[in-house]
């Protein structure tokens, strides 16, 4: 299957022949999915609360460098 065909099918929500797309979450435990979403929602906020102003600034500087100058090595 070509990438373009896959993109179109994802956009319209069904295969080009009219059959529905396979649901990847069908086999997953709905309780586990709900727990995963909870952790994902609060993860970034919880991390931000723990960071000092200096750490936040360092992350922002590295992000700006990566944006403007390409890949930047991580300085831990």
Mean pLDDT score of the chain: 84
pLDDT digit string, tens, across residues 26-57: 778 888 888 888 877 788 888 889 999 999 99
Please state, in angstroms and rounded to a whole number, the distance separating the CA atoms of residues 8 and 15.
9
The full set of domain ranges for the chain reads: 3-69
Q: What is the pTM of this model?
A: 0.41
């Amino acid at each position: 299957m070509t990438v373009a065909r896959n993109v179109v099918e994802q956009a319209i929500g069904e295969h080009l022949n009219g059959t529905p797309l396979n649901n990847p979450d069908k086999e997953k435990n709905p309780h586990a999915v709900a727990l995963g979403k909870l952790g994902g929602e609060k993860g970034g906020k919880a991390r931000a609360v723990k960071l000092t102003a200096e750490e936040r600034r360092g992350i922002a500087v590295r992000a700006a460098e990566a944006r403007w100058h390409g890949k930047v090595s991580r300085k831990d």
